[in-house]
Structure 1
Amino acid sequence: MQTHITTTPFGRRSLSLAHVASQAVAKARPLDKAVHKWNVFRAICTAKARIGVSERALAVLDALLSFHPETALTGEDLIVFPSNQQLSLRAHGMAPATLRRHLAVLVDAGLIVRRDSPNGKRYARKDRGGEVELAFGFDLSPLVARADEFEAWAKEVRAEERALKLVRERITLCRRDIAKMIATGMAEGVPTRAQGPADWMEIHGLYRAIVERIPRNAIRQALEPIAEDLTLLAEEILTLLEAHVKTSVSSGNESQTERHKQNSNPDSPIDLEPRFRESRGAGTELKTEPSRQPEGAYPLGMILDACPDIIDYARSGISNWRDFMATVAVVRPMLGISPSAWEEAQAAMGEVQAAVVVAAILQRGTAINSAGGYIRDLTRKAEAGAFSIGPMLMALIGKRKGEKKRA
């Protein structure tokens, strides 16, 4: 029978007060307490950030648990003594040096306790009946003693993850609602506190300022104030639209019909622009095909992959080139691109390429200080034959893939 339980590690490994505390917790556990080892392991995986262990260290813990023959952890026989070779195999072929490093992490985190033999080897001595009477290896008792603590941490982490998911969903819904309500307000000429589209552009600028505050990798505490600001803005815009609808309904049928006469054709693109000057000829009106890809244009799916933000401003999504061009007509004045700069860009680049440039400017956000000056510079390059839309799209797609990889 074992008369003394070792408390210090073999060799030059040091003994810290944290190790002593872990051993005290394991020693004080009730001997009749039993826990499901894989339930405890799942709780530890969920709360790994709180505990301070990595995925590689958890792979080593998984391997150690597999050497315990029973599913339930109870009693005193909780010491496992695998060799480094067998432990490495069950840890997916982990290198010996890496294995030792992660074992030390598990010990420091208070998940296991070292029970080293006089020579540092792991083994067990059995009595004449074949029962283990003395074992040296890794003690799994802390998992039993701290099972309730790990489960409580796991519940807190799951609750935090759910709250973070909800606030992200709230931000996404508010962004969609605000963008489409602004587009509707501009297209229908809904008055704000004062007359004129400049007021809607100010609302759009406020919306973009709030969106730019969203961090790339944000915690819930950082996102909640942003979600609150977006919710308030969405409610204010909705109040403007509802007030305009009530005013329209209360007016006579004749005036209501006159107000909506310009939008009687549902297939026509949104026309927020003044007509091109007659000196440019009769063929300068906006013409879009509902489904056919314009000659020489990049695929619409590729453009939306590079510039997904423009979808937020579409009235009913973007499924063809007609939808894309109509949405660009809404976004262009929001960005502050003047009609003259727009005409020159269309003349130099072509109608579709100029629209793609607008979508790209929207996607880059605050990286471009002056959208009008930027598109004029690109127009000059296009007139000199030194501009192509392809590298711009590739750069945007590469940037989005890099952000997803980092996230």
Structure 2
Amino acid sequence: MVTHISTTPFGRRMLTLAHVASQVDAKKRPPGKAVHKWNIFRAICTAKNRLGVTERALAVLDALLTFHPETVLTGEGLVVFPSNQQLCLRAHGMPPATLRRHLAVLVDSGLIIRRDSPNGKRYARKGRGGEIELAFGFDLAPLVVRAEEFEALAEEVLAEDRARKLVRERITICRRDICKMIAAGIEEGVPTQSNGQGPDWMTLHELYRSIAGRIPRTAPRAALEGIATELSLLADEILNLLEDHLKTQNPSGNESHSERHIQNSNPDSLTDLEPRSRESRGAIVAFEPEPERMPERTYPLGMVLDACPDIIDYSRGGISNWRDFQAAVAVVRPMLGISPSAWFDAQSVMGESEATVVVAAILQRGEAISSAGGYLRGLTRKAEAGEFSLGPMLMALIGSRKREKQRA
């Protein structure tokens, strides 16, 4: 009767101290301890980065678990002994060389233990009653021994994911609040300085852009929390400016402000911060009953938003049509420092729809353009001479965003 259990791998595979440690831990397993194999597998999948295993290695572990006949892992019979051919089939047709590589990953990470036979084959010896007396293959005992460790790691990962999601939600809300409060302050002419002291709205907007520009696509939670705190402080400061302005207004001013707000509260009406001609105002009134459609001589809205996503931050409730897009651009124009005359010239030469897209593109380029008004005038002159086309500008922005994603 064989009483010695294999502890070393067959062939050229080397034994490491980590392998010995896994075998020592397996010996400490209480005989009566039982765990649900699929619950433990889900915990390992959640904590895979902490454990240093890949998705392909987990697919092999999943296949190994299917060779254990019971759902509950307990007792001594935890060695499974499938052939490589059967393992490859259950691992969705994985090539043999890939299978061997990922089996080594599972062994090195301490999830399974090799119990190799004298010739390296996997098989089981049965007694006279048909019960398995000795098996050579892969021992699943570490899954039972380390069950609590796997579950604790999974909880930590889930808690970290929840915390990261919350801080990203906080950043999104702060960005939306700051953009819309700055837009409201500019539209209502709220003063920001007392006795010539303090920043103006453009300075606050530049401060916001500098903070928002440091938000990485992928970052640890600690880095995101620092940015969220900065945005929260800035949002509180801007809100205090608006509240202080309301406190200084007299009741009649509040009443007239409320009446003006009610008259302009229709979300379907296009808010224009620049003066228009009588004909233009009349055109808007006549246009309201018509269904939404894409303006003539412009590009699809989805393509424009793909090239200029920053304009969405300045919308009231997202941009789902061209009217929403034009309303957001009307908020952005004075924030960029574009004068009414520069805007009127751009509309006259390019057309209103193309001019609004150009303003969104200028916003997207951000600090790369020192003077938005002067830049718009330069583009207007080029368009008047037939030397400017909107398409290459949009494609350049889309290409730049794609390159940023690839670098990230």
Task: Report the counterpart of residue 21 of structure 1 in structure 2.
Answer: 21
What root-mean-square deviation, in Å, do the aligned CA atoms of Structure 1 and Structure 2 show? 2.9
Indicate yes or no: 2:320 matched with 1:347. Answer: no
State which drifts further: 192-201 or 225-234.
Answer: 192-201
Deviation at 1:404, TM superposition (A): 6.8
The offset of 1:197, in angstroms, is 12
* Matched length: 399
CA contact (8 A) 2:304 2:357 kept: yes
Name 1:109's counterpart in structure 2. Answer: 109
- Name the structure 1 match of 2:151: 151
Alignment partner of 1:64 is 2:64: yes
Matched, 1:229 2:230: yes
What amino acid does structure 2 have at the position aligned with 1:88? C
Conservation of the 8 A alpha-carbon contact between 1:9 and 1:15: yes
Q: Distance in 1 between matches of 2:221 and 2:84?
A: 42
Of all paired residues, the percent bearing the same amino acid is 71
Name the CA shift for 1:349/1:326 in 2 (closer, same or farther; >3 Å): same
Residue type at the aligned position of 2:226: P
Say which SS state the counterpart of residue 200 (structure 2) adopts: helix
Residue in 2 that maps onto 1:174: 174
Name the SS for the 2:136 alignment partner.
Answer: strand
- Pick closer, same or farther for the CA change 1:388–1:124 going to 2, 3 Å: same
Would you say the 8 A contact 1:303–1:356 is kept in 2? Answer: yes
Residue deviations 1:7-40 (CA, integer Å, cap 9, x gap): 1111111111111111111111112111100010
1:379 alignment counterpart: 380
Mapped contact 1:35–1:74 kept (Cα < 8 A): yes
Alignment partner, residue 53 of structure 2: 53
Answer yes or no: is the 8 Å Cα contact 2:192–2:199 preserved in 1.
no
SS at match of 1:135: strand
1:388 deviates by: 2.6
Shift of 1:305: 4.2
| 1:187 and 1:270 in contact (8 A); partners too | no
Instruction: For residues 271-312 of structure 1, give each alpha carbon's deviation from its aligned partner in whole angstroms, at most 9, with x where no partner exists.
Output: 434x48xxxx87677965453432223343443344332122
Residue aligning to 1:247:
248
Kindly provide the CA deviation profile for residues 295-331 of structure 1, in whole angstroms up to 9, marking residues without a partner as x: 2233434433443321221245445434432321221
1:86 — aligned with what?
86
- More displaced stretch, 363-372 vs 17-26: 363-372
Query: Quick one: distance in 2 between partners of 1:23 and 1:108?
Result: 12
| More deviation, 344-353/201-210 | 344-353
* 2:338 corresponds to: 337
Report the equivalent of 2:193.
193
SS at match of 1:137: strand
Deviation track 1:55-78 (CA, whole Å, cap 9, x = no partner) reads: 110000000001000011111111
Q: Which deviates the most, 168-177 or 389-398?
A: 389-398
Q: TM-score, normalised by structure 2?
A: 0.88
CA contact (8 A) 1:2 1:133 kept: no
Residues 271, 261 of structure 1: CA spacing in aligned structure 2 closer, same or farther, 3 A cutoff?
farther
Measured at CA, do residues 199 and 39 of structure 1 come closer, stay the same or move farther in structure 2, by a change above 3 Å? same
Instruction: Report the Cα distance in structure 1 between the residues aligned to 2:405 and 2:139, rounded to whole angstroms.
Output: 41
Task: Output the TM-score relative to the length of structure 1.
Answer: 0.88
Partner residue in 2 for 1:5: 5
| 2: CA distance, partners of 1:139 / 1:53 | 18
Summarize the Cα distance change of 1:286–1:355 in structure 2 as closer, same or farther, 3 Å threshold: farther
Partner residue of 2:239?
238
| Greater Cα offset, 116-125 or 330-339 | 330-339
The match for 2:314 is 313
The reply to whether residue 204 of structure 1 matches residue 200 of structure 2 is: no
- In structure 2, relative to structure 1, the CA distance for the partners of 1:119 and 1:286 (3 Å cut) is farther
User: 1:168 & 1:313 partners in 2: Cα distance?
Assistant: 18
Alignment-mate amino acid for residue 389 of structure 2: S
For 2:119, the equivalent position in structure 1 comes to: 119
- After superposing the two structures, state which structure 1 stretch, 239-248 or 142-151, moved more: 239-248
Q: Quick one: distance in 2 between partners of 1:146 and 1:406?
A: 38
Match of 1:326 in 2: 327
Letter in 2 for 1:360: A
